[in-house]
Amino acid sequence: MPADDLALEDQSLQDRTGEGPGAETFGAGDLAIHVCTACRRARADLPEGFDQPGAALAEALAAALATRGSAIPVLPAECLAVCKRPCTIAFAADGKWTYLIGDLDTETHLDDIVGAAEAYAASANGIVPWKERPTCFRKGVVARVPPLPARQQG
């Protein structure tokens, strides 16, 4: 990534969280939640025939986390390449497994996403025990990606 793009990304992160990558902490457990804003969901009731629910999910999720006093950043992502399963998010943190979770709905799953994010942040390696995951997390997992070997924890 070009240096100018990194600087913009760093500033954008700082604007959302009040902290930058160089700060002592990045967020709860270094977790970032990426939310796909490109996915289209079929909607016969709209003239376009679809909506793009990711932006609304990102905004609602950021607000819900802020209400709880959480420093977990919510980062809009141009595309997470899971177009058939909108809304899609990713939980990612340095040294932890990354989870890609699809089929999420802002109204139905917001509290579950916040709870799952907090459990993920509190985990040593990003693996939240199956029974502790909300149903939308258990059913919606698209992928679990291992951390880079040099950065594994726990």
Give the distance between the most distant pair of CA atoms in the chain.
50
H-state helical runs in the chain: 3-17, 54-67, 106-122, 135-140
Closest CA to 90 of 27, 20, 139, 81: 81
Q: Are strands 41-42 and 50-51 parallel, antiparallel or unpaired?
A: antiparallel
Q: Is residue 1 in some structural domain?
A: no
Q: What is the CATH number of the domain that holds 143?
A: 3.40.30.10
Q: Is the whole model's pTM more than 0.85, yes or no?
A: no
Residues 6+ apart with CB under 8 A from 9: 1
HSE, side-chain direction, 13 A CA sphere, residue 73: 24
Q: Is residue 16 in some structural domain?
A: no
Q: Is residue 132 in some structural domain?
A: yes
Range of the domain at 142: 29-148
pLDDT digits (tens, 9 = 90+) for 116-139: 999 999 999 999 999 999 999 999
pLDDT band at 148 (very low <50, low <70, confident <90, very high): confident
Residues 6+ apart with CB under 8 A from 81: none
92: three-class secondary structure by DSSP: strand
Q: Is residue 77 in some structural domain?
A: yes
Closest CA to 70 of 99, 23, 35, 32: 32
Q: Is residue 96 in some structural domain?
A: yes
Q: What is the pLDDT of residue 154?
A: 58
